[in-house]
Amino acid sequence: MPVALVGSPAARRVHGFSSGADLALLGAGLEAAEDLVEALTATGTRPPVPVSGLGELAALAAARDDVPLVVASGALRIAEPALLDLLDRPGTTTAALLADPYSVEMPQQIDGIEDAALVRVGRDGAAIESAGSAVHSVLRPNRVSVGALRVAAQDRAEAATIWTAAADTVDRDLGGVDLFDLALVALVRGGLAVSEVRAGYFGWRRGAVRQPGSRGSAWQQRLRTASRGGDGFFSAMAVRPLSRRGTAVGLRHDWSPNALTLVSLAVGLLTAGLIWSGQHWAWVVAAFTLQLALVVDCMDGEIARFTRRFSTLGAWLDGVGDRIKEYAVFAALAVVASRQGDDSGWLLAIIAMTVVTARHLEDQSFNDQLAPTKISRPVLLDLAQRDEGTGGPTTMVRPSRSAAVRFWLKKIVHVPIAERYLILSVGLLTFRPVWVLAATILFSGLALIWTQGGRTVMGILRPQTLPAPDPNLAPASLRDQLDLGPLARAAGRRLRLPFVPGLLAAVLAWLVVIAAICLGWFWVALVGAVGGAACCGMACSPPVNSRWAWQALPLVWFVEAAVVVALLCQAPVGGWVFGYLAVIAYRRYDLIYSIKLAGASPSRRTTLLGGGFDGRVVALTLLLTLSQLLGIDPERSVPIALGVGAGYCALIYLAESVRQWRPKPSVSGKRT
């Protein structure tokens, strides 16, 4: 029976990231593993070398250091598409293929799991902490070893040293144990970082252990696996099943992931245009086109993962495009509300944008602070020691039904993008723009209260669960994400303040700024802005060692938004306020993606020219003060100040984006 293929030959082609790699086949003759050898060599490896001991494996690893070494159990039966993410994906270093049968989100049945070699991957999912065999136990295992391993070229020498040292123990005490399992246990216990590559929905078999996989051929299973985890409930249950159908079409026609990102952006802007028209029929169409934009947005990532074509530009376009679509819809709703005579439209749109952005910033900052506590740390033990230790189960624990319910309820409460788009689409069918914006604020606000409030309560009641940021990792990232300008940084170099008192002093100064703008006391606002900038810089000067440091990022965003919104007390300039804050929100997201995806800090030139968060607030209050001295009416001066500020900031920050996100290879592969 012919194999059901997915996509064009170009979509299925091998890129050659393991081209010329040495191939070690452990514990079986070449004839017995003919299908496995065919699948492995299809990825570009050399003909296999049968290996019967760790000493032989060590000698093969030491023979070269310019190509990877692929190690596979001779008992493994697996198809080529299931191996591509391990052997033919950019950026893959030393890694093992692992299965996750008890994942709440993406469970996969495994038959014979009691005979499987179990593995524990760290909380960050970055590396194997402990690996097991028929005689080596693992505490709190959460993965199953499939039986394939890729050792990066630069790690071959270290792997050879570890296997050489382990060979004597194997020959003396561990005869008869599966050789592949011993090789993996030795690497992990020897301290070599071995990352995880998920086996996904593929079918495979290794001795008595078998994963049937999802329905269809191996290429159809690859399409199913291309739908990533981590989505919300609505996306997992409704959007992804639709996007996979579109992805299959796109793969047949070699559609570009970045082109699909731009199509999704265009459909999102079309949706905003339909809403802007104010026509009932257009709003009905917009409710569907907004969901279409989301489906297409999922397709770009699925095609990228299926074909293993990634770029930092694509990841940036994907993230920024989502925000542009969402905020364009908010603006269109505000325009229609204003046309209908409802003056609250622009204010609600501003609040919606502020809350959604704050929710993302708070989550990003909190996870950054906790990241060092989740780093995978391999357990270093001698191979002769069979038990890892005591203190936990050595068999995999199947999650309860209640755990699955809690998992999905938590996803829903967090109101991710698919849920927000669903709220917008359903709201559009009411033909009431204010209702749509109010619903968005309500659900996104509840999500922010749930996360930020819950984490705050946790920090108060259980301080040990909310550690201070690592002084070696967090301060520079926090300062860059806060977008502190020259004024705040200069103050921080001259004097340090304790984080919490310093930030409270800054908040007090900013409250003075907001009140002064509302009262028209622009001189007072200018003085308060300078004072707030200085206090913030002194409180956030590295190293920041407060467990409350993650609160700073959403706080400074709220403060800047509140300062700008205060201008509504001087003039009815809701559209100008929204446009200005949209530019600043773009800057916030661009900073996060720069640090997260490219590991890059903002350039000194941009920090100087853009002025940072503190510089923008000071500049805005300075423009207002000068306009008051010149006797310009606020209804004229405020739009000028916001227009000049937004245009200048957009020019500076877009120039930074062009420099940072020009097309170049990437190893991250992070797509929606």
Length of the chain: 672
Whole-number average pLDDT of the chain = 91
Q: What is the pLDDT of residues 328-349, one digit of tens each?
A: 999 999 999 999 999 899 999 9
Residues 6+ apart with CB under 8 A from 546: 468, 469, 498, 499, 500
**Nearest CA among 40, 48, 193 for reference residue 127:** 193
Q: What is the pLDDT of residues 569-607, one digit of tens each?
A: 999 999 999 999 999 999 999 988 888 877 777 888 888
The pLDDT-based confidence of 545 (bands split at 50, 70, 90) is confident
The pLDDT-based confidence of 667 (bands split at 50, 70, 90) is very low
Q: What is the pLDDT of residues 1-19, one digit of tens each?
A: 456 899 999 999 999 999 9
CATH, range 470-672: 1.20.120
- Determine phi and psi for 409, rounding to 5 degrees: -65, -40
* Angle, CA 549 vertex, CA 546 and CA 554 arms, to 5°: 160
**At residue 671, does pLDDT exceed 60?**
no
CA–CA separation, 510 and 528 (whole Å) = 6
Q: Are strands 118-121 and 76-78 parallel, antiparallel or unpaired?
A: unpaired
CA neighbours closer than 13 Å in the CB half-sphere of residue 2: 3
Q: What is the pLDDT of residues 478-498, one digit of tens each?
A: 778 899 999 999 999 999 999
Q: Are 13 and 255 in contact (CB under 8 A)?
A: no
Q: What is the pLDDT of residues 34-48, one digit of tens each?
A: 889 999 999 999 999
Show me where the domains of the chain are located: 9-221, 226-467, 470-672
Q: What is the mean pLDDT of residues 182-211?
A: 95
CA–CA separation, 552 and 481 (whole Å) = 10
pLDDT of residue 519: 94
Q: Are 488 and 537 in contact (CB under 8 A)?
A: yes
Question: Positive or negative, the Cα torsion across 646, 647, 649, 655?
Answer: positive
DSSP 394-456: SSPPPPPHHHHHHHHHHHHHT--HHHHHHHHHHHHTTT-HHHHHHHHHHHHHHHHIIIIIHHH
**At residue 665, does pLDDT exceed 70?**
no
Q: Two tokens at 664?
A: 């170049």
Helix H or strand E segment including 650: helix 634-660
Q: Are strands 195-198 and 95-99 parallel, antiparallel or unpaired?
A: parallel
Q: What is the pLDDT of residues 140-183, one digit of tens each?
A: 999 999 999 999 999 999 999 999 999 887 766 666 789 999 99
CA neighbours closer than 13 Å in the CB half-sphere of residue 475: 16
Burial class (CB in 10 A: 0-12, 13-18, 19+), 617: buried
Burial class (CB in 10 A: 0-12, 13-18, 19+), 66: exposed
- Determine phi and psi for 255, rounding to 5 degrees: -70, 145
Q: Are 568 and 576 in contact (CB under 8 A)?
A: no
Among the residue ranges 318-322, 358-362, 663-667, the one predicted with the least confidence is 663-667
The CATH topology of domain 9-221 is Spore Coat Polysaccharide Biosynthesis Protein SpsA; Chain A (3.90.550)
Domains 9-221 and 470-672 share a fold: no
pLDDT of residue 672: 46
**At residue 230, does pLDDT exceed 90?**
no
Q: What is the mean pLDDT of residues 282-300?
A: 97
Helices marked H in 256-378 — which ranges? 257-277, 280-307, 312-339, 345-370
Helix H or strand E segment including 460: helix 454-461
> 226-467 belongs to which homologous superfamily?
CDP-alcohol phosphotransferase transmembrane (TM) domain (1.20.120.1760)
**At residue 358, does pLDDT exceed 80?**
yes
Q: What is the mean pLDDT of residues 348-371?
A: 93
Burial class (CB in 10 A: 0-12, 13-18, 19+), 648: middle
Q: CA-based diameter of the chain, in Å?
A: 92
